[in-house]
Amino acid sequence: MTVVVTRAMAGAGPSADTAEPLLSAARRSVSRPAVFLDRDGVLNEPIVVAGRPFAPLTAEEFILVPGVVEVCERLRRAGFALVVVTNQPEVARGALPPRELARMHAVLRSVAPVEGIYVCPHDDADACPCRKPAPGLALAAADELDLDLAASVVVGDRWRDIEMGHRLGCRTVLVDRGYSETRPVQPSITVRGLPEAVRWILDSPVDQGGNVNA
Ligand SMILES: [Mg+2]
Ligand SMILES: [Zn+2]
């Protein structure tokens, strides 16, 4: 299911901005584990107002967290597909022009080895299947990129990310930025940033049932 960005931005569904397949069809016959990366607050700096995080609304405000590119490359070398899954309700609210979102993601793609950037451009009132904690974005990625969900990990900074991970049967990593908001329920681990998350992921091999062995 590949939905073009322009159609998704009109409210038709999630947008799948997927790169050209990086592996041959033969090598992709075995499902790979993924790290599903939330965007704001994990890959790029959130804009925090009164303790609450907000998404950047222009490409100029889209600032990657230091060290993110290097740890993405480490995950990629370790065999994980890197997939960005992000709620962007400001699109539905009219505050975030789709062209700015496209500019941000062009920057991200130019520096980090992400295989797909899956965006939910909807708000709660749309009752879509892709706004986290709904699992639609990750399920679309798993289908398109042949991912092994039971061996995959979700990394995010808010309860919606962790809840999505639970629904997918993935391990979950909370990047705790100390926001003043509802706390996520029981991530597998809580860390201070993506580099620490990546150390945990690489030190925690899973068996085929998705159980952590370490
Ligand atoms: Mg976030
Ligand atoms: Zn959606």
CATH of the domain at 164: 3.40.50.1000
Q: Residues within 5 Å of ion ligand 2 by Cβ? A: 120, 122, 128, 130-131
Residues 6 or more apart whose CB falls under 8 angstroms from that of 112 comprise 43, 64, 68, 69, 72, 73, 82
Residue 208 lies in a domain: no
How far away, in angstroms, is 42 Cα from ligand 1 center? 6
pTM to 2 decimal places: 0.85
- Averaged pLDDT for residues 119-135: 98
How far away, in angstroms, is 193 Cα from ligand 1 center? 12
Q: Which ligand gives the minimal distance to the CA of 175?
A: 1
* pLDDT tens digit sequence for 2-40: 333 333 333 344 556 655 455 555 454 679 999 999 999
Query: Is the per-residue pLDDT at 87 higher than 70?
Result: yes
**How does DSSP classify residue 53?**
E
How far away, in angstroms, is 119 Cα from ligand 2 center? 8
Residue 73 lies in a domain: yes
Chain-wide mean pLDDT for the chain? Answer: 87
Range of the domain at 121: 5-19+31-203
High-pLDDT (> 70) share of the chain, %: 82
Query: Is the per-residue pLDDT at 113 higher than 60?
Result: yes
Residue 26 lies in a domain: no
Total domain count, the chain = 1
How far away, in angstroms, is 171 Cα from ligand 1 center? 17
Residue 109 lies in a domain: yes
Residue 209 lies in a domain: no
Residue 119 lies in a domain: yes
* pLDDT tens digit sequence for 176-194: 999 999 887 899 999 999 9
Q: Which residues pair with 154 in a beta bridge?
A: 36, 172
Q: Would you state the torsion angle of the CA atoms of residues 143, 170, 152, 4, taken in this order, to the nearest 10 degrees?
A: 40
Residue 47 lies in a domain: yes
Residue 212 lies in a domain: no
Task: Determine the pLDDT at residue 2.
Answer: 36
Q: Is the peptide bond before 133 cis (omega within 30 degrees of 0)?
A: yes
